[in-house]
Amino acid sequence: MEIMILPVIIFLCIHKGLLGKSICGEPKNLSSTIGGQVTLSMDKAEFNSINWLTPNGKFLAQTSPGEPVEIEEAEYEGKLKATVNGSLIIMNLTREDENQYTANVQTISSSQCLQRFHLRVFDALSVESCSGQTNIFSEEGAEVTLPVNQTGFESIIWVTARDLVHFAVTEPGQPVVIQDPRYQGRLNATANGFLIITGLTREDQGTYGAYVVTPTSQQCVQLYNLRVTGFYQEKTRMDYTTVNTIRLAISGCVLLITCFVLTHHMKTEVMSPSTDTHEHRRCSKVL
């Protein structure tokens, strides 16, 4: 009996300790699939360390900016790593990883604050296609919207095909949840849950997947082939400018050489008649 009561007491003590702490950021609802990965990204920019906990009081790991993750539970070996800024990445997700996680943050001023993450893990995505692949073109520095042909969906998990990273989640009427620090400040969502990528760069070019989840957990995938133009055009424009400059320089050299040759030729023509006349007079006197 005492053995059963002890974990409850420990959990209540931890829970009571967490209740009095301030909030670092708004709770985040995250989604991914079995076998995928997810990043528990912190809103707070500066802190010393984070202790990562589950609702039952299990201490998973500790992360710090610029440091590797310190794993506290043996079952999470090989499943956890830290980003450069100290956020937590959970890899090789299983159904058991669906949980609420708490980041207990130790701030630079030695105070503490909390941020919570609710993670949902769906079954492996079906191969059923929502629609055919969509080709989308945009320019560097511009923005692009990735529309979904399905209606009545609950959420969309957005994935980059090149590395299969689940980088964002959108829901109708909700702000976008960014799960990859590379996209911080560059993603928005429309009212119906479509994804907007702003400030496009050459690295954004590629194939994206939208895994659409219905209220009944039915899933389908829609693919987008995004082509970012402008970089190549600008490079070509710069190449043309260089070529034109070289051509102008060569033309100038040719013109100078031509002028020199013509001037020399004209001087030669002027001197030749005078010389002939002088020689003719000398011959006449001799005769």
Domain boundaries, given as residue ranges, for the chain: 2-122, 134-229, 236-273
Asked if 200 and 144 touch (Cβ cutoff 8 Å), the reply is yes
The predicted pLDDT at position 126 comes to: 55
Strands (E) located in 27-183: 28-33, 38-40, 49-53, 59-63, 70-71, 80-82, 88-90, 99-106, 112-122, 134-139, 144-146, 155-160, 165-170, 177-178
177-232 residue pLDDT tens: 988 888 989 999 999 999 999 999 999 999 999 988 888 777 788 999 999 987 44
Short-list 210, 204, 255, CA closest to 228: 204
Strands (E) located in 123-231: 134-139, 144-146, 155-160, 165-170, 177-178, 187-189, 195-197, 206-213, 219-229
The predicted pLDDT at position 269 comes to: 59
Asked if 164 and 36 touch (Cβ cutoff 8 Å), the reply is yes
CATH class of 2-122: mainly beta
pLDDT < 50 stretches in the chain: 1-17, 231-238, 274-287
In whole angstroms, what is the distance from residue 269 CA to residue 185 CA? Answer: 77
Query: pTM of the full predicted structure?
Result: 0.56
The predicted pLDDT at position 266 comes to: 65
CATH code for residues 134-229: 2.60.40.10
The predicted pLDDT at position 262 comes to: 66
> Phi/psi of residue 14, each to 5°?
-65, -45
Do 2-122 and 134-229 show the same overall fold? yes
